[in-house]
Amino acid sequence: MIAEHDLCREARRVLRKLLAEGTALVRTENGKYLVHRGAKPERSHHGLCAAQYVAGFRTRDWIKPRGTDPESFSLSEAGAAWLKRCEADGDPYAAQHQMRRRQMIAGPDGVERWATVNQAESPLARLHALKLIDAAQFAAGERLRRDYTIAQLAPRLGVDLSAQTSFGRRGEKREHLLADTVLAAKQRFSAAMKAVGPGLNDLLHDVCCALIGLESAEAQFGWPSRSAKVVLGIALDRLALHYGLVITAPARGRIRSWTME
């Protein structure tokens, strides 16, 4: 009989490995299970898992059979949700529906700091996670949002209590530096929107800066269903070219074309 804390500890170790796309837990000749990445088994012993633990995972529906011979399992939705709850800070059930990441965030003063963000709040991050936009398009949209934040273009709903009042020459110097940072961000933002062009830049603003989803944007503009994704792709391509980012045409070609075998 496996103790519950031992089972959970082993589940956290193994299920983390199964989060990656194309990974599976495959039965070996000696009865144990080994993590495979695609067709290649993990060479390290850390990829091994005893059969009794796998049975425990199955009982709790944390893994699902793939119908292969030899027997193999992939991570289930229930397993992914359980893993998120285990590793969440604060409310574990809220974290289950979030995409938490540590990343550098630019504040209103232009200074970047590490912070934990929920990328599920960003329509652009969700599209990137679903591989509907590529890395260059995502980076371009994030850069636009960064300048939008630094330029303080978002409407304020109240008094900014975080603003510090400074007196004397040092305070004046700091205020001038902050004003210069905000002005430079405004200029970069305006140049990017101008490069993308009218019509396209409206959608960029809504999705990248105002965090409006594609369906809501389509309703707002009166567009047909699923048309916003096409328009957004064109707009992000123009934005990436403006920023000098590399557009991965071969990778995108795998999505846009097909071949007969």
What values do phi and psi take at 36, rounded to 5?
-115, 135
List of domains in the chain: 4-86 (1.10.10), 119-155+166-256 (no CATH)
Q: How far apart are CA 177 and CA 141, in angstroms?
A: 26
Give the pLDDT mean for 63-88: 87
Among the listed ranges 4-13, 110-119, 230-239, which one has the minimum average pLDDT value? 110-119
Q: How far apart are CA 161 and CA 168, in angstroms?
A: 21
- Cα of first residue to Cα of last residue in the chain, in angstroms, is 51
Answering whether pTM is above 0.85, one says no
Q: What is the pLDDT of residues 211-235, one digit of tens each?
A: 888 888 899 889 998 899 999 999 9
Query: Is there a contact between 148 and 209 (Cβ–Cβ < 8 Å)?
Result: yes
Q: What is the pLDDT of residues 166-216, one digit of tens each?
A: 444 554 554 555 678 888 889 999 999 999 999 899 999 999 988 888 888
Q: Does 111 score more than 50 pLDDT?
A: yes
